[in-house]
């Protein structure tokens, strides 16, 4: 996809925000960093903190095969990524504002912090592309529980087991029989490398790509497929805006607004004026 010739300035962005009716917003970990939640790949991001786990690549904490062979690796760090209660950032408020103005087609979030829900994004307007902690599933029998029932064990860095399988697991262990490490282990329904994305993603993305009239990618390095591929698949006439701390060179954005995303959207809201208000001081007034 080549860039649009007639969409390249800040004014174009402001006009399009006013006229757009079906905005597809793609978000990643960068929209929550202002709350002290680390992103993944920045120099001080989550992956930089995992050097003591003995993994050849820190992304392996979310690798399905590795989880199956040793679930204790994931459960030694899972407490660090549990969703926080009651907080959200100005950027989440901006997405909520787009929703309130009837402009939000859908927010495709890669985040598992669930802060979109805290900000009041309608569940129908949001797709958690990499799943969430809302539910957890037994890797052996598929039994599901509410994710929050596992939080005490996750906080204690213990491995949670399935109530239906744990007895059999202990019996096999007592008999010195072979038991897979992950037999009867509960896994939160967050999408690991090697797993398919939630059905909701596949059910909606093609129609949303046909319907959207603007794409805004915010706080994501766009390094993980298939979310990273969304921006390549949209029709050429749909403007694409990037709001991110670091530039992204492997995608063709029409306008890249580089900076802290809370500040960039506050700046845009100030320029738009009126009901475009997210109660966050804009870059200029900081």
**Closer by beta carbon to ligand OAD, 28 or else 239:** 28
- Residue 87's CB is within 10 A of a number of other CB atoms, namely 15
Q: Are 231 and 215 in contact, with CB atoms under 8 Å apart? A: yes
**Closer by beta carbon to Zn ion, 139 or else 230:** 139
d(C-alpha 15, C-alpha 2), whole Å = 21
The closest alpha carbon to 60, from 43, 37, 40, belongs to: 40
- Those residues with Cβ within 8 angstroms of residue 186's Cβ, 6 or more apart along the chain or in another chain: 136, 137, 138, 139, 145, 150, 160, 161, 162
**Closer by beta carbon to Zn ion, 167 or else 284:** 167
138 is in an annotated binding site: yes
| Residue 182, contacted partner among Zn ion, ligand OAD, none, CB below 5-8 A by kind | none
**In the complex, minimum distance from the CB of residue 163 to ligand OAD, in angstroms, rounded to a whole number:** 26
| Residue 143, contacted partner among Zn ion, ligand OAD, none, CB below 5-8 A by kind | Zn ion
| Residue 96, contacted partner among Zn ion, ligand OAD, none, CB below 5-8 A by kind | none
Interface ranges with Zn ion (CB under 5 A) = 138, 140-141, 143, 162, 164-165
The closest alpha carbon to 95, from 258, 231, 221, 217, belongs to: 217
Interface ranges with ligand OAD (CB under 6 A) = 28-30, 33-34, 39-42, 45, 59, 62, 110, 112, 130, 190-191, 219-221, 223-224, 244-246, 260-261
| Length of the chain (residues) | 286
**Closer by beta carbon to ligand OAD, 29 or else 165:** 29
- Per the residue annotation, which of 130, 202, 249, 280 is the catalytic one? 130
Positions of E strands within 129-249: 131-138, 144-146, 186-190, 214-218, 240-244
d(C-alpha 181, C-alpha 140), whole Å = 11
Q: Are 262 and 245 in contact, with CB atoms under 8 Å apart? A: no
**In the complex, minimum distance from the CB of residue 186 to Zn ion, in angstroms, rounded to a whole number:** 8
**In the complex, minimum distance from the CB of residue 10 to ligand OAD, in angstroms, rounded to a whole number:** 17
> How far is the CA of 221 from the CAs of 26, 27, 82, 243, in angstroms?
11, 10, 21, 11
**In the complex, minimum distance from the CB of residue 145 to ligand OAD, in angstroms, rounded to a whole number:** 20
Is 130 annotated as catalytic?
A: yes
162 is in an annotated binding site: yes
Annotated binding site for Zn(2+): 138, 141, 162, 165
**Residues tagged active-site:** 130
């Amino acid at each position: 996809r080549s860039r649009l010739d007639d969409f390249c300035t800040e004014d174009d962005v402001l006009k399009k925000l006013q006229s757009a009716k079906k905005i597809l917003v793609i978000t990643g970990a960068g929209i929550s960093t202002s709350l002290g939640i680390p992103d993944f790949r920045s120099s001080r991001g989550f992956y930089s903190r995992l050097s003591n786990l003995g993994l050849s690549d820190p992304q392996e904490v979310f690798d399905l095969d590795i989880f199956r062979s040793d679930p204790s690796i994931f459960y030694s760090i899972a407490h660090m990524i549990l969703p926080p209660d009651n907080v959200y950032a100005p950027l989440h408020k901006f997405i909520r504002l787009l929703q309130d103005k009837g402009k939000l087609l859908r927010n495709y979030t890669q985040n598992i912090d669930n802060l979109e829900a805290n900000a009041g994004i309608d569940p129908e307007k949001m797709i958690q592309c990499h799943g969430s902690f809302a539910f957890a599933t037994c890797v052996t029998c598929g039994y599901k529980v509410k994710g929050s029932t596992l939080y005490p064990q996750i906080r204690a860095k213990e491995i949670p087991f399935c109530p239906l399988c744990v007895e059999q697991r202990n019996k096999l262990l007592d008999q010195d029989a072979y038991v897979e490490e992950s037999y009867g282990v509960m896994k939160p329904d967050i999408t690991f490398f090697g797993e398919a994305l939630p059905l909701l993603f596949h059910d909606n993305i093609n129609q949303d790509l046909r319907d959207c009239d603007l794409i805004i990618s915010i706080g994501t390095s766009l390094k993980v497929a298939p979310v990273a591929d969304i921006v390549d698949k949209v029709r050429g006439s749909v403007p694409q805006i990037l709001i991110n701390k670091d530039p992204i060179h492997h995608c063709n954005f029409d306008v890249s607004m580089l900076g802290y995303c809370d500040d960039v959207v506050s700046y845009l809201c100030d320029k738009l004026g009126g009901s475009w208000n997210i109660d966050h001081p804009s870059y200029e007034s900081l």
